[in-house]
Amino acid sequence: MSRDLKKRLRAAGLWVTTFVLMVIMCVPGLWVVLSGFRPNREILAKPPVWVPEELTLSNFGKIFGFGAEQVAIPVLSYFWNSMVIAMTSTLIALIIGMAGGYAFARFRFRFKNAWFLGLMLFRAVPGIALSLPVFMLWSRLGLIDTQMGLIIVYVSLNVPFTIWLIDGFFRQIPMSLSEAAQVDGCTRWQAFWKIEFPLARSGIAAAGVFAFLTSWNEFALASQLTRSTDSKTLPVGLMDFTAQFTIDWAGMCAMAVIIIVPALILTFLVQKHLIAGLTFGGVKG
Amino acid sequence: MNPARPVMRAAPPNDGFVTPVTRFFKRNQTALTPVLLLSPALLTMLFVVAIPLAFSLYTSLTPYRLTRPESIEIFVGARNYMRLLSNDDFWEAFLRTILFLAIALNVEFVLGLGIALLINKITWGQRTLRTIMMFPMMFSPILVGFQFKFIFNDNIGILNNALQSLGITDRAIPWLVDGKLAMFSIIFAEVWMSTSVFAILLLAGLFAMPRDPLEAAKVDGCNAWQTFRHITLPFIMPFAFIAMTIRSLDVARAYDIVAVMTDGGPAGRTELLWTMIARVGYENARMGQANAMAYISTILSIAFTYYFFTKLVAARRYMGGAE
Amino acid sequence: MAGISLQNVVKKYGRLEVVHGINLDIEHNEFVVLVGPSGCGKSTTLRMIAGLEDISDGDIAIGDQVVNDLPPRKRNISMVFQNYALYPHMNVRENLGFGLKIAGQSKDAIEQRVQEAADILGLSELLERIPAELSGGQRQRVAMGRAIVRHPEAFLFDEPLSNLDAKLRVQMRTEIKKLHNKVKTTVVYVTHDQVEAMTLADRIVVMKDGYIEQVGTPMEVFSHPVNTFVASFIGSPPMNLIPARITSGMAEFRDGKKIPVPSRLAEDVTEGQEIIFGIRPDDLTPIGHGIHEARETTDIDLTVDLAELLGTETLLYTSFAGQEVQGKMFDPRNVTPGETLTFRLSLDKAHIFDAASGQSVRRL
């Protein structure tokens, strides 16, 4: 066999493997998204209908309560709750995380590594395990089934990881920049806002997206701490479909699309920084 | 005396009186600032995690049932724990959880490494491929669970439909109904969701890898496998540990997947610690018992994270020496 | 008038003391270079002057004001950092004008001062560029521009040339010197490179392990090092330091060889004293290949182990009293290793240090 042919075969093999892997990664998600636009009877058809004969928005109309056929699931409230809770908890977590990350990146203090590890370990408590005592305490504090109750929990869920990421981003900015600004006449506070913050901005945005996704996607805690349209989020709402006798696959798929689209857009916007944040934060400690 | 030599004089009064006290605070400003900056984070963790955990520990020492509120005041010592330790269902769920994690994490690492090496080899389209890889990462675990419940559905699932259409099998395979297949299915879903974390971080490691040691190894007579084993792998290990640490922080999100796919079924064959906690605590309302279990699962998670984090720190130090 | 004065300045990190009560008076418009090996406390000292590090004890005054507790912005100093610390998200114009903008100066005033600094440093063409688009030397210039634009009372330089390649370093060194001549101001300059120290300084401060070893003009420090550390640190190649003992007016080496004690130092040594005999390679030259006529000399035969041709001179490695000793040959001819030459040692330029303390025996 000629060398050239061997090389080409290898390249082809490489491509085929990659292609198969990518198909496995994409197809399940795409199939769900596609099914969101198909009528239920086509999904349930036997023998299966492979090529969609009809694409429709009726599933969305249905779950949003438009059109003739309605489902008694208040998706709009869920969407609103999810947005408010995820946005608010992300914003608070970012502020707390920026302060904490800056402290870890810029100051020397005793037991620094131990503090850092301690924060991380708090994050490791399984959601469902944490939900038990939080459920009991929140009942006493009247925080069950409130947006506030979930926001508080999500802030604490996001703070450690946000600190980790933001610490990494601040470390990439040479300390001498802030020092130069201070020599140039800034207070430390001014130096932070005029120099360090603008430079870390994209990284902080990435951390924000991570926090948003965590809150947006969280289920274990939300499923126990929410009850009604006052605070139920989309992931919890998704279970409404299965609670019914027959599963409304088309409706669930449509709802899945609603959950995935904001996450998708946000991730693509900052994907470069996400990777950089994860690796720099970790390796260049 | 030298005329240019400055005459010592205290700072002007507009900068405040320099008393020993103000001087102490000024000099210790840098020591107090980090405390100040960290306090919101620490307070949050204290109120939302530490205090609940303490409460959880206390509850685990009582026979508390949601239906009988007064039972929280009865102290029974380690009875809940003793009962758990002698309970076969608990042990089964515990060992199944360990097995689940061991298989999932190992498969994710190996697959992730494979994918990273593959993409590293490919000369164009790397960025697009990497973006596609991020796809599963942004999926809500509950969504992943639902998605695979849909795909593995024995009646209308795309998988069975495909297998039957291709003539590979003529009967519907009960993916989520048979115990063993159900376990496979949830592991598959978990691996699908989390392999990207490894792939992306290991790929970042490969991108960051300097060429010199690789070339030096070639000159020293290493073959491809030896080069990989002794140069590439040690270099990207810290990245693997970051991935492991990130993963270990939220291994318990597999709860979401299992809750929606099988909810521990069929007949408890996919019951993990986490689904068991939810069942005992919320469905059976036996909070005391559930908190005991929750404590065990918390310690398990923390041990995982601690282990990988120390590995990460060690690997980092070792890397520092090479640079 | 802005001199800088350090009185018993101490820096501690926790229990670790890294600067041990140093005293230094820097005069108005003086160019002072702090030099020493890494970890000697020179950068810490500079950062304490800048206010970037708190001082643990003692006093620092700039002009006639004690600045111990003043933040950097109130000290009216400017600083050039080792990595230049240019603000990556601002162009050159904004970088230069940043300090003035913070100080609340008017747009016109800023523009005028920026233009003035840009003219001095030849940056006028680069004002709209961002730091990433500049070469190393240009970045260096912008960093200096940022320092001069505010007309501070003192410039602080923290190893500003160490990130440049050798050729550019020499060029920028000259520019810094010219700049100081143009913009007369007090300068404190930190470097580990003794050549930079020698060429730039009005006065050199040699530091080691948090202590000041010697303060003096480049000539003083070079010609009259107070101890063996300064002797070996200043000058390249370093001074040969050979242990010996004083016996009847001669320095007797380990192998029994003897060299007369220079007459100017005869009073300063005692019989039987253990000493270190110091001689620079420039003052140990084969007969006929030296550069200056010494009044007092002694001749020794040495075998050359290795000869390094440097062009106008050749560096000769020989063994003396059981250790390697370097000599120089000016106006060189070819020397083959193993060749024995008669070297003329200029006793005028020889140094004697007490072996126990390392201090020069010369009384001032």
pLDDT tens, A153-197? 999 999 998 998 888 888 888 889 999 999 999 988 899 999 999
For position B29, what pLDDT does the model report?
A: 60
Print the SS3 string covering A214-248: HHHHCCHHHHHHCCCCCCCCHHHHHHHHHHCCCCC
* Whether residues C221 and C273 fall in one domain: no
* Whether residues A46 and A101 fall in one domain: no
Q: Assign residue A45 a region (left: φ > 0; alpha: ψ between -120 and 50; beta: otherwise).
A: beta
* Whether residues A110 and A216 fall in one domain: yes
The ipTM estimated for the assembled molecules is 0.86
pLDDT category at A17 given cuts 50, 70, 90 is confident
Comparing A103 with A14, which gets the higher pLDDT? A103
A112: number of Cβ within 10 Å: 13
Residue B11, domain member (yes or no): no
Q: Residue A134: which domain range?
A: 75-283
CATH number for the domain spanning A239: value is 1.10.3720.10
Contacts of C299 by beta carbon, 8 Å cutoff, 6+ apart:
C287, C342, C343, C344, C345
Residue B93, domain member (yes or no): yes
Share the mean pLDDT of chain A. 85
Q: Is the pLDDT of residue C36 over 50?
A: yes
Q: Which secondary structure element, helix H or strand E, spans residue C253, and what is its range?
A: strand C250-253
Q: Is the pLDDT of residue A274 over 80?
A: no
Could you tell me which residues are beta bridge partners of residue C189?
C33, C157
Q: What is the mean pLDDT of residues A62-81?
A: 75
For the stretch C319-333, pLDDT in tens is 998 899 999 998 888
Q: Given an 8 Å threshold on Cβ–Cβ distance, is A179 in contact with C85? A: yes
Kindly list the residues from chain A whose CB atom is less than 8 angstroms away from the CB atom of residue B133. 25
Q: Is the pLDDT of residue B10 over 60?
A: no
At C179, list the tokens. Answer: 């700049």
For position A1, what pLDDT does the model report?
A: 57
* Whether residues C229 and C333 fall in one domain: no
pLDDT category at C279 given cuts 50, 70, 90 is very high
* Whether residues C79 and C207 fall in one domain: yes
Residue B58, domain member (yes or no): no
Which one, of A226, A266, A276, A237, lies nearest residue A87 by Cα? A266
Residue burial A232-260, b: 16+ Cβ < 10 Å; e: rest: bbbbbbbbbbeeeeebbbbbbbbbbbbbb
Residue B27's closest chain C neighbor by CA? Answer: C54
CA distances to A200, A235, A270, B246 from B129, rounded to whole Å, are: 27, 28, 16, 22
Kindly list the residues from chain A whose CB atom is less than 8 angstroms away from the CB atom of residue B47. 152, 156
For position A245, what pLDDT does the model report?
A: 57
Q: Which of B15, B22, B33 has the most C C-beta neighbours within 10 Å, making it the best mutation to test the interface with C?
A: B15
* Whether residues C190 and C268 fall in one domain: no
Q: Is the pLDDT of residue B160 over 90?
A: no
pLDDT category at B3 given cuts 50, 70, 90 is very low
Comparing B27 with C95, which gets the higher pLDDT? C95
Where is the domain boundary, C181, C206, C233? C233
Could you tell me which residues are beta bridge partners of residue C241?
C278
CATH number for the domain spanning B187: value is 1.10.3720.10
Q: Given an 8 Å threshold on Cβ–Cβ distance, is A259 in contact with B165? A: no
Residue A200's closest chain C neighbor by CA? Answer: C89
Q: Name the domain count of chain A.
A: 2
Instruction: Check the CA dihedral A147-A150-A156-A159 and report its sign.
Output: negative
Contacts of A243 by beta carbon, 8 Å cutoff, 6+ apart:
none
DSSP calls for B268-311: TTT--HHHHHHIIIIIS--HHHHHHHHHHHHHHHHHHHHHHHHH
C-alpha angle with apex C98: C93 to C102, nearest 5 degrees?
150
Residue B51, domain member (yes or no): no
Kindly list the residues from chain C whose CB atom is less than 8 angstroms away from the CB atom of residue B12. 65
Residue C224, domain member (yes or no): yes
Q: Residue B302: which domain range?
A: 69-322
Residue A67, domain member (yes or no): no
pLDDT category at A101 given cuts 50, 70, 90 is very high
For position C210, what pLDDT does the model report?
A: 93
At A263, list the tokens. Answer: 């996450």
pLDDT category at B17 given cuts 50, 70, 90 is very low
Residue C52's closest chain A neighbor by CA? Answer: A179
Could you tell me which residues are beta bridge partners of residue C61?
C5, C66
pTM: 0.83
C-alpha angle with apex B214: B211 to B219, nearest 5 degrees?
120
Q: Is the pLDDT of residue C114 over 90?
A: yes
Q: Given an 8 Å threshold on Cβ–Cβ distance, is C83 in contact with A176? A: yes
For position A280, what pLDDT does the model report?
A: 56
CATH number for the domain spanning C299: value is 2.40.50.140
Q: What is the mean pLDDT of residues B97-114?
A: 92
Residue A133, domain member (yes or no): yes
Q: Name the domain count of chain C.
A: 2
CB C74 within 8 A of CB C84: no
Q: Given an 8 Å threshold on Cβ–Cβ distance, is C69 in contact with B6? A: no
Does A48 touch chain C if contact means CB atoms closer than 8 Å? Answer: no
Instruction: In whole angstroms, give the CA distance from residue B272 to residue B263.
Output: 9
Residue burial C313-335, b: 16+ Cβ < 10 Å; e: rest: bbbbbbebbeeebbbbbeebeeb
Q: Name the domain count of chain B.
A: 1
Instruction: In whole angstroms, give the CA distance from residue C329 to residue C344.
Output: 11
Residue B174, domain member (yes or no): yes
Kindly list the residues from chain B whose CB atom is less than 8 angstroms away from the CB atom of residue A213. 138
Kindly list the residues from chain A whose CB atom is less than 8 angstroms away from the CB atom of residue B248. 124
Residue C360, domain member (yes or no): no
For the stretch A243-260, pLDDT in tens is 555 677 888 888 889 899
Residue B27, domain member (yes or no): no
Residue A68, domain member (yes or no): no
At B31, list the tokens. Answer: 């020591």
Q: Is the pLDDT of residue B234 over 70?
A: yes
For position B153, what pLDDT does the model report?
A: 85
Does C27 touch chain B if contact means CB atoms closer than 8 Å? Answer: yes
Residue B237, domain member (yes or no): yes
For position A67, what pLDDT does the model report?
A: 60
Residue type, B303: A
Q: Which of A122, A273, A278 has the most B C-beta neighbours within 10 Å, making it the best mutation to test the interface with B?
A: A122
* Whether residues C193 and C83 fall in one domain: yes
Q: Is the pLDDT of residue A8 over 60?
A: yes
Print the SS3 string covering B126-190: HHHHHHHHCHHHHCCHHHHHHHHHHHCCCCCCHHHHHHHHCCCCCCCCCCCCCHHHHHHHHHHHH
Residue A70, domain member (yes or no): no
> What is the number of H-type helices and E-type strands within chain B?
15, 0
For position A159, what pLDDT does the model report?
A: 94
C29: number of Cβ within 10 Å: 17
Q: What is the mean pLDDT of residues A268-280?
A: 71
Q: Residue C328: which domain range?
A: 242-354
Residue A89, domain member (yes or no): yes
Residue type, B183: M
Residue C362, domain member (yes or no): no
C89: number of Cβ within 10 Å: 16
pLDDT category at C267 given cuts 50, 70, 90 is confident
Instruction: In whole angstroms, give the CA distance from residue C96 to residue C101.
Output: 10
Residue B10, domain member (yes or no): no
Minimal Cα–Cα distance from A264 to chain C, Å? 29
Q: Is the pLDDT of residue C260 over 60?
A: yes
B125: number of Cβ within 10 Å: 12
CB C64 within 8 A of CB C45: no
CB C214 within 8 A of CB C221: yes
Share the mean pLDDT of chain B. 82
For position C187, what pLDDT does the model report?
A: 94
pLDDT category at B1 given cuts 50, 70, 90 is very low
Q: Is the pLDDT of residue A228 over 70?
A: yes
**Maximum Cα–Cα distance across chain A:** 77
